[in-house]
Amino acid sequence: QVQLVQSGAEVKKPGSSVKVSCKASGGTFSSYAISWVRQAPGQGLEWMGGIIPIFGTANYAQKFQGRVTITTDESTSTAYMELSSLRSEDTAVYYCARAQAGLWFGELNYWGQGTLVTVSS
C-alpha cells in the first residue's frame, strides 16, 4: 500500500520561503508523477505543479511559475516543494499526491496528509 507522509506545519514570515517534503513508501517511486495541490482556508483545490521523478523535469501551473520549485530525491523516495516570496495569500494546506498510473500526471489516487503553511508577520 502506497503511503505519502508529509513534513509538519510551518509558520513563515512574508517574503520568506518554505520547503515541504513528501516521503513515499510502499510502491515504485521513480515512474509515478507526484503533484502538489494546495487548499486555502475554506477554498477549493489548486494544482501547483508536478514531477515524474525518472524524468526529473517539473511542470508548473502558470500562476506559480518562477515562485515554486518541485524536486525529488530518488534515493529516499522523497519529493519536495519549495515556495518563495511568501505572502499572506499563500496560507493554505499543501498536499502532495501521486498519480494512479505511471509516467503521466492524470488522476491522483494517493494523497499525503497535508501540511499547513501559515504566512504571518
Subset of residues 16 to 45 that bind another protein, contact rule: CB under 8 A: 35, 37, 44-45
Q: Under the criterion CB under 8 A, does residue 108 sit at the interface with another protein?
A: yes
Give the end-to-end CA distance of the chain in Å, rounded to a whole number: 40
Q: Under the criterion CB under 8 A, does residue 100 sit at the interface with another protein?
A: yes
- What is the rounded distance in angstroms from the CA atom of residue 4 to the CA atom of residue 67? 24
Q: Under the criterion CB under 8 A, does residue 8 sit at the interface with another protein?
A: no
SS3 52: coil
Q: Under the criterion CB under 8 A, does residue 105 sit at the interface with another protein?
A: yes
**Cα Dmax for the chain:** 41
SS3 64: helix
Q: Which stretch binds another protein (CB under 8 A): 23-31, 69-77, 81-89, 101-109?
A: 101-109
Q: Under the criterion CB under 8 A, does residue 47 sit at the interface with another protein?
A: yes
